[in-house]
Amino acid sequence: MSGRGKGPLAGVRILDLTSVLMGPYATQIFADLGADVIKIEGPSGDTTRAIPPGPDSSRGAMFLNVNRGKRSLALDLKRPAARDAVLRLAASADVFIHSMRAQAISRLGLDYAALYAANPKIIYANLYGYGRNGPYRDYPAYDDIVQAASGIVDLQARLSGGEPTYSANVIADKVSGLTGAYAVIAALFARERSGEGQEIEVPMFETMVSFASVEHLCGSLFEPPMGPPEYPRATSPSRRPYRTADGYVGVMIYNDKQWQAFFRELGNPDWSKDPMFASLRSRTENITTVLAQVEREMETRSTEDWMALFRRAEIPATPIASLTDLLRDPHLEQTGFWEERETEAGRLRFPGIPTAFSGTPGAIGDPGPVLGADNHAVLAEAGFSDSEIAALTESGAVIS
C-alpha cells in the first residue's frame, strides 16, 4: 500500500471500529502519518460507503477520501468468534478506537476491560456523543445535533438575522476527530515514557463546548461574571465579507498597526480620528459601529483596488474563493497540495496532508478499500492459519 510505513507513526498498528466521519477522520490522520490502520466494518460496511458520487454503490467519494490508506477487515461482531478475533488482533495492536455509545461497545464485549485483558499496553479510545458520566450519555448524536447542543448554532444565528443555522461544514465531527487524533498520539507518547496503556474518552458535546468557549466564554470566565459568554467581534452582524464596487473581499483589520496603515492609505479621513478607532479595547467595545463604517468605505472601490491597497498596507485580505476555485488555486498548485493519481477506483484527486515533517514525511495511501479486501492478510499477520480463516468465513464471523 502506497505511503504506509514512512511517516512519524510508522510501526503503529490501529484497530479502527469507527464509522461515518468523526472517527474515520481521526484514523485518516493516523494513516496519512504512516500508521497501519485496520478498518473493522460490519456486514453493511461504513455508512459513508453509500453516499454518492462514487465508482460503485459501496465506495462514495467521502468514503474513498476519509478512509484512504486503511485496510478493511469485515466482521460480524455480533458473533462471538468475530469478537474473539478482534481480541486476538488487539494483542499485537497499539491502539483500539471506536465511535459507538458506551452501552453498545459493552454489549459486543469489547469494552476497555476486555481489550486490557488482551493487551495491557493498548491505547483504548472512545469517540462518542456525550461523556459517559453525565445524564446525556445514552443519547444518539450526529454533527448537526452537537452543533445545536454546544452553542455553535446559536452563535451562527447572530450572523444570520437571528435565524438558527448550522455551519456549512461538519465542524463538530471534524473538530472532535482532530481532538481524538491528538489525544491518541499524546497517549502513545506517554506510553513511550511509562510503558503503560490507558483509556481515552473524546465526547463530541464536551469537545465542542470547549471549542466554542476558547473565545466566547469571555466575561463569564470570571465569577461573578464581567459580561456574557460572547466575543462581540465574532458575533457582530457587520462581521461579514465586505461588498466592494464589483464583488466581495474578506479583510481583517485587527491590530493598531494595521488600522494606522489603513487610515494612511485612505488619506486619514475625518472619521478615522474618532476615538473609538484608537485602540483594540475601544474598537471591541464599539465593534458593530466600527465594522459598519468599514463596510460603507469598502463599497467605494473595486476589488482589485482594495486588494492592491491591502497588500501595500500588509493587511490580511483576500477575494472570496469557492471550493471550485481552490482546485486551481496557484498557491496550492505550487505547494503540491492536490495529489492526482490513477487508482483502481479511477483517477482521483486527494487533498494533501497539511502538516510537513522534514525527517519522516507522511504520504497519502490508496483510496478507501473494498469491504473486506484485506480479510486474509490481516488475519494471517495476527497468526490465524488458513484453516482458521476459512472456518471464520464459513461461520459468518468474517464477511467475505
Q: Using a CB cutoff of 8 Å and minimum separation of 24, what contacts does 59-63 make?
A: 59/345, 59/367, 59/368, 59/370, 62/21, 63/368
Q: Say whether 173 is catalytic.
A: yes
Q: Which three cell numbers stand for residue 50?
A: 453509500
- DSSP code string of 146-178: HHHHTTHHHHHHHTTTT-----SS-HHHHHHHH
Nearest Cα to Cα of residue 372 among 91, 70, 29, 32: 70
228 with 222: CB under 8 angstroms?
Answer: no
Q: Which of 16, 173, 366, 374 is catalytic?
A: 173
261 with 314: CB under 8 angstroms?
Answer: yes
| Cβ neighbour number for residue 362 with a 10 Å cutoff | 26
| Cβ neighbour number for residue 314 with a 10 Å cutoff | 10
HEC secondary structure over 301-344: CCHHHHHHHHHHHCCCEEECCCHHHHCCCHHHHHHCCCEEEEEC
Buried b / exposed e across 120-159, counting CB within 10 Å, b at 16+? Answer: eebbbbbbbbbbeeeeebeeebebebbbebbbbbebbeeb
Q: Which three cell numbers stand for residue 292?
A: 459598519
Active site residues: 173
